[in-house]
Amino acid sequence: MVNRIKIALRKPVTYFYVALFLFYVLFLPFSLRVFAAQLGGDSPEGMVTVLTVMAFWMIPGNLIAYAKRKGLVYRNSDVHFLFPSPVSPKRVLLYAHLKTLVAQVLMNVFAAVCGGVVFGVSLWRLAVYFVFSLVVENLLEGSIMILLYGSEKLGEKQRAMVVKGAYGLLLVLVAMGVYWYFQEGLSLQAAASFLHSDMVKMVPVVGWYIGVLHLLFLGPDALNLAVTAAYGILFLGAVLAAWRMKCTGAFYEDAMKFAEDYEEVMKSRKQGDNQKRLGKKQKFGKARVIWKGQGARALFYRQLLEYKKSKYFIFDTSTFMALAAGIGVAYLYTRERGSGFFETFGPFVIPMVSGYLIFVFTALNGKWAKELKSPYTYLIPDSAFRKLMNATAMQHVQSLVNACLITVPGGVVMGMAPMEILLCIVFYVVLSANKLYALAVAEVVVGATLGAFGRQLLQLFIQGIAISAAVVGGVIGMAVGGVLQGYLLMDVFLSLFTFIFMVIAALNFYKIETA
Amino acid sequence: MLEVVGLSKKYGKTLAADQVSFVVPAGKVGILLGPNGAGKSTVIKSIAGLLRFSGKVLIQGQDSRDLEAKRSFAYVPEIPYMYDALTVREHMEFITRAYGVELDEDELKALFERFELWDKQDKLGNELSKGMMQKVSICCALIIRPKVILLDEPMVGLDPGAIRELKALLIELREQGCTILISTHMLEMVKELWDVTFVMEKGRIRGSYAREDLGNGDLDELYFSVTGHEQTAEGNGGGTWEQ
């Protein structure tokens, strides 16, 4: 841990993270206060509501993870050094749990600041909650973790029953919510009153914890005291049982498998491949391609083959998001009979939504980022420009499909001219390409000095410049001619920057290092 | 022929390779020896064009960045890189297409049989063990019929049978006039292979030797005398090689 901190302090990106965290801790609560006040949730009840929602998915989620012997992150180094060492397996379990302690403390600090600033909770109550959360909650979770993860008596069937039980808890809560909906209707007030209802507090484990929160933040009543007592009994029972339970380390095998999978997924993600899922081997279908051409052209056909073997071909979450956004824009335009709040931006709503989606969804980097990590990309005897073209061609096709999905529904409903729709599609495709080449430019500029995150930030910054130029183009075009000229200049400016990025990426291709 | 002239490489402030120069004559096997962290892999990766470096690398007399030079050399990385969705055979199809080489079925069959991959050619990249990946990686390098081949710790992860085959194959390649550079610290594995050797330590070439210069001297003795490390392995004791 000390060494990690020392290494982290040497990286500039650490200071950025610290600044980001301080920003969130210091400023976010103030902006959240305004938001909470608008919703009428700027009271201790609001805090309980938020924590209740979190408890709804976190407690059953943890139970399921521990019962399936997942959720504890061991690295390969832990497997190598810790598992065979003469350390009690229970301590090995607690070690994994305690690795999250720093994050928990930070979250609790954030929750306490929000409690004071956003929800106006008194200081002593926050102090009690802080201690409760850090000590009691941690001890209980640690005990349940030992009982489920470390148990050597629970067989597959019993573990499956615990998982079913956790899902059962969720089902009960959902059923109660549905019942409440039929009784009270759908509104924020109704949802809040459901979360504070007595029946929720009576649900075992999750409800008992919610009852403790009510006692801590809102004061005692008969039910709060009763369920708090139940929570206390659960706490004592779990701690005692965990203390006495025999654990010789039978969980090591599962933990080792999880560590291997985890390292593999982390490695893939670092290389830009977001498709690998923890514990699930990626499956590919059977497909063939007829290879044509040679040199860098092989990169294109290899990618085509990979896409043909993929379950969803070239389609992924970005395709789904584009379709949802396209339908969403069309629906909202029809319902609002115009662009509503975005009326000021008039005909540029679709490019705005496109820009947002491309900016936020980083999956577009996927294949290209992976291509940059392969030694064969550099070894292939062909020009950098041809490699760049062929290695990104399939992604331009993917962008074109996404562009049509996001543009056509809204464009038709809004009554845009065909040429405007076409220019809108061009905007999406060029902006996507811009993102790809901006990554290569960022690789060249920062190399390994700022890490993957630093590279991504620079990529966003570079892309921000190009988008700003496109906006300027749009404004000039609108001022000079009209919507069509605005679209045209926007595309021209963006294409110009994209072309510059592409040339920089191609010229500096040899300066990118694979290791 | 492979010629390295004044190659230097820095990782941040660390100088990993410092003015490295050596020549592997055509049709000879050169061995880059050195302890862990000596800079061998850095030199090999730089020659392969995977790292930025200062200095010059000539392959068959041409700058290593030239396309003609790239066409004539192959590289076997220390950690094999596989495409998850491609089968073993598709890796070969991809590489031969990328290098513009005709895929000769007989040659491919001979290569696969030699490395026991014939019955595994339909396995995907993500289904292979580390050793299998290394074998595929070696096959990918050989299928393009290179004039110069760079191998970074090629024996690691291979089973004894595959090591024996690889050694035999490298000798055959040498006989066909191929220039070979192997980076390794496993002296035993390259004893009967080498023609010239370059001993690296702390990023620098500490000595370059040809087999004929060595006389009756042993590679182990040479290595330990140059690096100054003591021989501890049984049977490796005795005298030290005088430079």
Q: Are B170 and B176 in contact (CB under 8 A)?
A: no
Domain presence at residue A187? yes
Domain presence at residue B241? no
3-state secondary structure A56-77: HHHHHHHHHHHHCCCCCCCCHH
Among A35-39, A53-57, A80-84, A442-446, name the one with the lowest average pLDDT: A442-446
Report chain B residues whose CB lies below 8 A from the CB of A282.
84-85, 126
Considering the domain architecture, whether residues A222 and A320 belong to the same structural domain is answered as: no
- The residue among B73, B88, B89, B90 with the most chain A CBs within 10 A of its CB, best to mutate, is B90
Give residue-wise pLDDT tens across range B215-232: 766 878 888 887 776 554
Give residue-wise pLDDT tens across range A386-421: 988 898 898 899 899 999 999 999 888 888 889 989
Considering the domain architecture, whether residues A188 and A73 belong to the same structural domain is answered as: yes
Considering the domain architecture, whether residues A339 and A231 belong to the same structural domain is answered as: no
> Which range of residues forms the domain containing residue B141?
2-227
Domain presence at residue A387? yes
SS3 A374: coil
A340: Cβ–Cβ under 8 A, 6 or more apart, which residues?
A: A332
Considering the domain architecture, whether residues A442 and A305 belong to the same structural domain is answered as: yes
The residue written with tokens 């990626």 in the block is A282
Domain presence at residue B238? no
Considering the domain architecture, whether residues A198 and A312 belong to the same structural domain is answered as: no
Best CA proximity match to A205, nearest among A174, A254, A170, A256: A170
> Which range of residues forms the domain containing residue A325?
297-511
Domain count, chain A: 2
Considering the domain architecture, whether residues A237 and A382 belong to the same structural domain is answered as: no
Partner-chain contact A449 B94, CB within 8 Å: no
Query: Exposed/middle/buried for A246, CB within 10 Å: 0-12, 13-18, 19+?
Result: exposed
Helix (H) or strand (E) holding A143: helix A138-149
Considering the domain architecture, whether residues A351 and A225 belong to the same structural domain is answered as: no
User: Which among A180, A215, A248 is the end of a domain?
Assistant: A248
Considering the domain architecture, whether residues A206 and A308 belong to the same structural domain is answered as: no
Q: What does residue B56 show for φ and ψ, rounded to 5 degrees?
A: -135, 140
Report chain A residues whose CB lies below 8 A from the CB of B136.
none
Domain presence at residue B46? yes
Nearest to A291 among B77, B81, B97 (CB): B97
- The residue among A303, A313, A370, A380 with the most chain B CBs within 10 A of its CB, best to mutate, is A380
Domain presence at residue A404? yes
- The residue among B54, B72, B93 with the most chain A CBs within 10 A of its CB, best to mutate, is B93
Domain presence at residue A505? yes
Domain presence at residue A34? no
Report chain B residues whose CB lies below 8 A from the CB of A374.
81, 83
Q: Does A189 touch chain B (CB under 8 A)?
A: no
Domain presence at residue B243? no
Domain presence at residue A459? yes
Query: Exposed/middle/buried for A343, CB within 10 Å: 0-12, 13-18, 19+?
Result: exposed
Q: Give the DSSP letter string of A144-171.
A: HHHHHHS-SS--HHHHHHHHHHHHHHHH
Pairs of residues, one from chain A and one from chain B, whose beta carbons lie less than 8 Å apart:
86
Considering the domain architecture, whether residues A223 and A161 belong to the same structural domain is answered as: yes
Q: Are A230 and A212 in contact (CB under 8 A)?
A: no
pLDDT at B233 over 80: no
Domain presence at residue B237? no
Looking at per-residue confidence, does B187 or B183 come out higher? Answer: B183
User: Which among A183, A213, A248 is the end of a domain?
Assistant: A248
Domain presence at residue A153? yes
pLDDT at B130 over 80: yes
Q: Does A309 touch chain B (CB under 8 A)?
A: yes
SS3 A389: helix
Domain presence at residue A271? no
Report chain A residues whose CB lies below 8 A from the CB of B126.
281-282
Domain presence at residue B236? no
Considering the domain architecture, whether residues A328 and A403 belong to the same structural domain is answered as: yes
Considering the domain architecture, whether residues A70 and A162 belong to the same structural domain is answered as: yes
Q: Does A290 touch chain B (CB under 8 A)?
A: no
* CA closest to B137 among chain A residues: A376
Looking at per-residue confidence, does A286 or B220 come out higher? Answer: A286
Domain presence at residue B239? no
Partner-chain contact B94 A383, CB within 8 Å: no
Among A438-447, B57-66, B173-182, B218-227, name the one with the lowest average pLDDT: A438-447
Partner-chain contact A380 B71, CB within 8 Å: no
User: Which among A216, A248, A280 is the end of a domain?
Assistant: A248
Q: State how far the Cα of A90 lies from the Cα of A248, in Å rounded to an integer.
A: 8
Partner-chain contact A375 B48, CB within 8 Å: yes
Domain count, chain B: 1
Taking the whole predicted model, whether its pTM rises above 0.80 is answered as: no
Distance from CA of B70 to the nearest CA of A (A): 5
Considering the domain architecture, whether residues A353 and A487 belong to the same structural domain is answered as: yes
Domain presence at residue B242? no
Q: What is the ipTM of this complex?
A: 0.86
Give residue-wise pLDDT tens across range A221-250: 999 999 999 999 999 999 999 999 988 888
From the CA atom positions of chain A, what is the Rg in Å? 27
We report the CATH number of the domain holding residue B60 as 3.40.50.300
The CA-CA-CA angle for residues A42, A48, A51, to 5°, reads 115
